[in-house]
Amino acid sequence: MSTHAPPSTAARLTLPRALWGLAAAVVAVHAAHTGLDVGGHGPTQFFSTWLPFGAFLLVAAACVTRALRVTEERGTWLAVGVGLFVYGCGMPYYNLVFGDSPPAQFPSFPDLLWLTLTPAGVTAIVLLVRAQARQVRFDLWLDGVIGGLALASIGATVLIHVVLQGTLAAPAANLTFVLCDLAVVGFAVATWGLFGWRPSRTLVLLTLGFAALAFQDSSYLHELVRGTLVPGTLLDSWWLGVMLVISCGAMLRPKRVAVVRRRSSHLVAVPFAFALTAVALSAYFNLTDGVNPLAAALNTVTLGAVVVRFALTARSQLAMLAVSRHEALTDALTGLGNRRRLLADLEEVVEHASTERPALLALFDLDGFKDYNDRYGHPAGDSLLVRLGAALSASVRGSGTAYRMGGDEFCVLAWAGAEERESVVSTAAAALTEHGEGFTVGCSYGFVSLSGEVRDASAALGLADRRMYERKYSARTSAARQSTDVLVGLMAERDQWLGTHMEQTTRLCEAAGRELGLPPEEMAPLVQAAALHDIGKAAIPDAILNKPGPLTDEEWEFMRGHVVIGERIIGGAPSLARPAKLVRWSHERYDGTGYPDGLAGGDIPLAARIIGACDAYDAMTSDRPYRRAMSPEVALAELRANAGTQFDPVVVEVLCRLLTRAAGPAPPRRLAADRLPAR
C-alpha cells in the first residue's frame, strides 16, 4: 500500500497562475490595440467588448480556481472572483443592449452589475482580515478608521476640486462608482491599522487595486465632465490592468500576519499624521472661497475620531502609570508596601507626627525562617511569607500599615502613643509567629517613637534597626550560652582535666580577643567556640586520648577527626552555628598544612586563629601523660618560632605581649589530655 503526499501550495497555484498569466497576455494585446493601433484603427466589437470580457473571465477563473485549490483565504478569493465575473458581464451587456445610447435612468442593470464589485471587495477584505488576524484591538481598529476617513476626506477634496472642477454637475452613475471605489479604499486602509500599519502583501495589493480603480473611474469622470472623453484609448485598457492588480494577490502563497500586541512609536505616529492631514484640509477649506460639504464633513469626522483616539491613549497611559506606580511601591510576593513605599510614607508621618499625635516605627526580622526555607524549600518559604504578611497587615489594620522590607524583614508604621506602643508591637510580633511540627518561626523587633525620640526618617530607621538587631543578638547569645554551659558541663564530668584545659583556653582567648579589639558580635562566638573547641574528644576512646606513648597513624587519623565531630555536635544547636565553624577550623595552620580543610592565612577566621594559638600555649604549659609541662618562657618561644607557619604572627605577638605583662603567678595547672599541639 503506497501513500501519496498532498501537493504543495506552489503546485496547487500552478493552474490559477496560468489563467492569470493568460489574462495578462490578453490585456497586453488590448493595450497594444488601443495604444499602437495593433489589429486595426479605432474601437471594434472584438476589442471593445469580447476581448475585455475574455480578460475578465480569465481573471475571475484564476481567483475562483485559487479558492477551490487552496483552503487558506478561500472566502476572499471566491468573493473577488465572483465580483470580477459579474463586473465583467456588465460590459458586453451594456454594449449589446444600449450600444451608443446610454440608459435614461440610474441605476440601470449594467450599473448594478458594475456596483457589485464594491460589496465583493469589502467582503473579500473582511474575510482576508479574519483569516490573517483572528484577534484585533479596538485602538488599532480606530487607527484604521481614522486613516480611512482621512483618505476619504482627501479623495472627496480631489474629487470635487480637481475631477469635477468645483461642481457636482456630473452623471450620477459615474460619480457613484468613484464614491464606491473611495469607500472600499478607505475601508481597506482602515484594516491596515489592525496590523500596526504592516499589512500583508495580499491586503496591500487589494488596496492598491481598488485605489487604481478609483483613479481610473475618477479619470473617466474628469474627461466626461470636461467633454474630452474619447473611447478606444489606453484609458480603456487601464480598466483591464486594474483587474490584474486586484487579482494578483491570489497568485501569492497565503501568509498569516501576527496580531500587533505591543505598542510602538509608529503606531502613535500614524494617527498623528492623519490628524495633521485633517488640520491641513481644514485650513485649506478656510482659505478657499468654495466649501466642499462632503470633504468638510469627512474631515470633521476624522478630527473627531482623532480626538477619541488620543483620549483613549491618554486613559490607557494613565492606567499604565497607575499600575506601574502601584507595582513600584508594592512587594510582589506579599502585596504589602515595599521599602520605597515605606520611605515615602515615613517622610510624611515624621513631618506630621507630634506629641499630641504620636507615631511609631517598628522593624521585625524573622527568626528561624532560614532553617524553615532550607528544610521545606523556597516555595514553602514564599507561602509562609505570604501568610505572615497577611497576618501582620490584619493585626495593625485600623491603627497602622504593614510593609515588607525584603527577604524576611517586615515593618509597621502606626499612629500610637506610649500606652498603645507595646500592644501594637506585641500584636504584630505575634502575627509574625508560626509554629508547626518540627519548626518554629518567630521574630525579633526594634521600635522607635517618631514624635519623641527622633524627628528624621533615616535616623528613625537606623535606630529601630539597631534596636532590632540588639534584641536578636541578645536572644541568640542567651540561647547559645545555655547550650554552651550544658556541653561544657558534660565535658567536665567526663574528663576533669580536659574541662580545665577548655576553661583556661577560653579565658586566654577572651583576653586575646579584647586585646585585638574584636567587636561584641565577634567576641561571643569566639568565647563559645573556645569553651567547646575540644568537645569532639568526647567521642575519642580514653585509650587513645590518654595514651602515654606515641600514636599510630590510624590513631592520629582518629584524633584529627575530633574537630569535625565537634562541629557536628555544636551545630545541632542553631544558636551555635558560627561557633561550630570556628571549632572545625581551630586546628588549621597559617601555612595551609593544617586540617581538616587545609585553609591558609586570611582564609582562616581570626577567631579560629586565636583559638589555635591559645590552645597550643595552654597545652604546652600543662602536664601531659607523655611529658612534663613547659615553662611559660619556653612555650612563648615555641609560639614565636612557629609564627607564620603554624600560627598567625599578629595573634602570636598579641598573645606574647598579653602573657608577658600579666602580673602575678601563672594560674595552677591541672593534667589535661589535649595531645595535638605537642604532636
pLDDT digits (tens, 9 = 90+) for 90-118: 888 888 887 767 776 777 888 888 888 98
CATH number of the structural domain spanning residue 371: 3.30.70.270
Mean pLDDT of the chain: 78
pLDDT tens digits, residue range 453-475?
A: 666 777 788 888 888 876 676 55
Are residues 546 and 589 both part of a single domain? yes
pLDDT at 542 over 90: no
489 within some domain: no
Q: Any residues with CB less than 8 A from the CB of 211 and at least 6 apart, and which?
A: 181, 185
Instruction: Tell me which of 227, 258, 289 is where a domain ends.
Output: 258
Are residues 454 and 523 both part of a single domain? no
475-488: average pLDDT: 54
Specify the 3-state DSSP secondary structure of 333. Answer: coil
Position 342 scores a pLDDT of 87
As for how many domains the chain has, the answer is 3
pLDDT at 649 over 80: yes
- Could you give the angle at which helices 234-247 and 74-97 cross, rounded to 10 degrees? 160
0.75 surpassed by pTM: no
Are residues 509 and 456 both part of a single domain? no
pLDDT at 364 over 70: yes
User: Which residue is associated with the grid cell 509574625?
Assistant: 432
Q: Quote the CA–CA distance of 498 and 537 in Å, as a whole number.
A: 9
Q: Domain of 185?
A: 9-138+148-258
Of 98-112, 385-399, 645-659, the poorest mean pLDDT is in 98-112
98 within some domain: yes
679 within some domain: no
User: Which residue is associated with the grid cell 470633504?
Assistant: 295
26-50: average pLDDT: 78
Q: Which is higher by pLDDT, 255 or 67?
A: 67
Position 40 scores a pLDDT of 63
The string of DSSP codes covering 512-532 is HHHHTT--HHHHHHHHHHHHT
Are residues 544 and 656 both part of a single domain? yes
Are residues 444 and 568 both part of a single domain? no
Are residues 123 and 232 both part of a single domain? yes
Peptide bond before residue 596 is cis, with ω within 30 degrees of 0: yes
Are residues 22 and 83 both part of a single domain? yes
Q: Beta strands 434-436 and 360-367: pairing type? A: unpaired
Position 663 scores a pLDDT of 38
Specify the 3-state DSSP secondary structure of 405. Answer: strand
272 within some domain: no
275 within some domain: no
Are residues 440 and 553 both part of a single domain? no
Are residues 627 and 553 both part of a single domain? yes
User: Which residue is associated with the grid cell 565577634?
Assistant: 522
Q: Quote the CA–CA distance of 247 and 225 in Å, as a whole number.
A: 30
Position 668 scores a pLDDT of 39
Instruction: Tell me which of 258, 274, 308 is where a domain ends.
Output: 258
pLDDT tens digits, residue range 265-276?
A: 555 566 667 667
Are residues 220 and 103 both part of a single domain? yes
Are residues 652 and 523 both part of a single domain? yes
Going through 336-494 in order, the beta strands assigned E by DSSP cover 360-367, 400-406, 409-414, 434-436, 439-449
* Three cell numbers written together for 300: 470633521
Instruction: Tell me which of 198, 232, 258 is where a domain ends.
Output: 258
298 within some domain: no
288 within some domain: no
pLDDT tens digits, residue range 589-633?
A: 999 999 889 999 989 999 999 999 998 888 888 876 656 788 888
Contact 401, 345 (CB under 8 A): yes
Return the top range by mean pLDDT from 137-141, 211-215, 489-493, 499-503: 211-215
Contact 254, 73 (CB under 8 A): yes
CATH number of the structural domain spanning residue 574: 1.10.3210.10
pLDDT tens digits, residue range 151-179?
A: 666 666 666 555 555 454 456 667 778 77
Are residues 462 and 540 both part of a single domain? no
Position 383 scores a pLDDT of 92
374 within some domain: yes
Q: Quote the CA–CA distance of 121 and 112 in Å, as a whole number.
A: 15
Of 85-89, 137-141, 244-248, 500-504, the poorest mean pLDDT is in 137-141
642-654: average pLDDT: 92
